Amino acid sequence: MILVTTAGKVGTQTALTLARSGHDVRVLVRDPQRHEILKDAGAELVEGDLADTVSVAAAVDGVDTVVLVSLAIPDQELRVIECAAATSVGFIVKATSKASADSPIARRRGQSEIEAGLIASGIPHALLRSNAYMQNFLALAPAIATGHLASSAGAGRVGFIDARDVGDVAAAIATAPESHLAKTYWLTGPELLTYGDVAAIFADALDHPVTFATRTRAEDEAAMIEAGVPPTIATQNAQAFSLIADGDAEWLSSDAANLLGRPALSFRAFAADYRPAFAVAH
């Protein structure tokens, strides 16, 4: 049995791929009714909360492999690791980022703390260190739908990866752990793109102009808060955009393509597949 925590952008894809290929997969979710697609695919949905030890222990019971794809909240993912260490779990696949204990971005410090806890647990594991997910742009869909993309990422280039590829990589590794012991994979898409390049790709996919405008980090943060993003997350996102402007995300790797046995999905493919989400004003 493979446990996936939880059904976010990556976890949903991981669970779908595992279930559709006939593997026993369990997904810990807060609200099973919102994840019927996983149940229909054959996954077992377990209602629980990563902040609650009882529900995490129940979810981990009888599991061989855990795919850790939840938020970079040390209290939550370390709870999963602790419960896993107390049972039969023999392998953990952990989704992470450019984790660093001295990063200015809180979630990268959180990832670093979780990685350290995973290593200290002694449970065999693999790390998926991804560049920015293409699906992050879904949060900007209302603006993109009306032809506007603005960011303090400036002219920084990013090796965006489709979260579906990250999910499929996690699924592939979870079903063949012995080939991936103590490995760290750096996951990116096939190309480096600026936000201006992304605007042009959306314009082609949506058949209307999409302009890119640079704004300041403070403007980015304020816009996200106004759009309903929690202030702590908005601060971290704005910090990440500033780092992107300085070249922090300008890296590519062939790890995803090698693990998938096919080219990683392009931004053009992402924009075409998600066209309906960007085509209407929300």
The one segment of 43-51, 117-125, 168-176, 178-186 that binds ligand NAP by CB under 6 A:
43-51
Provide the minimum distance between the beta carbon of 135 and ligand NAP in the complex, in angstroms, as a whole number. Answer: 7
Alpha-carbon span 196 to 137, nearest angstrom:
13
User: 30 or 207: whose CB is closer to ligand NAP?
Assistant: 30
Contact 281, 214 (CB under 8 A): no
Q: How far is CA 149 from the centre of its chain?
A: 21
Contact 245, 153 (CB under 8 A): yes
Provide the minimum distance between the beta carbon of 56 and ligand NAP in the complex, in angstroms, as a whole number. Answer: 9
User: 196 or 236: whose CB is closer to ligand NAP?
Assistant: 236
Residue of the chain from 84, 132, 169, 205 that contacts ligand NAP (CB under 6 A): 132
| Six-digit token string for 73 | 């909240």
The one segment of 2-10, 14-22, 115-123, 207-215 that binds ligand NAP by CB under 6 A:
2-10
Task: Work out whether 59 is an interface residue with ligand NAP (CB under 6 A).
Answer: no
User: 70 or 103: whose CB is closer to ligand NAP?
Assistant: 70
Contact 22, 41 (CB under 8 A): no
Residue with tokens 């190309």: 191
The one segment of 49-57, 78-86, 216-224, 271-279 that binds ligand NAP by CB under 6 A:
49-57
Task: Work out whether 239 is an interface residue with ligand NAP (CB under 6 A).
Answer: no
Surface-to-core class of residue 88, CB atoms within 10 Å of its CB (0-12 exposed, 13-18 middle, 19+ buried)? exposed
Provide the minimum distance between the beta carbon of 48 and ligand NAP in the complex, in angstroms, as a whole number. Answer: 7
3-state DSSP: the chain helix, strand, coil percent, rounded to 5? Answer: 50, 15, 35
Alpha-carbon span 45 to 84, nearest angstrom:
18
Task: Work out whether 95 is an interface residue with ligand NAP (CB under 6 A).
Answer: yes
Alpha-carbon span 112 to 240, nearest angstrom:
16
Provide the minimum distance between the beta carbon of 207 and ligand NAP in the complex, in angstroms, as a whole number. Answer: 27
Q: Residue 48 — φ and ψ, nearest 5°? A: -175, 180
Query: Which residues sit opposite 28 in a β-bridge?
Result: 5, 46
User: 147 or 197: whose CB is closer to ligand NAP?
Assistant: 197
Provide the minimum distance between the beta carbon of 208 and ligand NAP in the complex, in angstroms, as a whole number. Answer: 26
Which residues bind to ligand NAP, rule: CB under 6 A? 6-11, 30-31, 49-51, 69-72, 76, 95, 97, 107, 130, 132-133, 136, 163
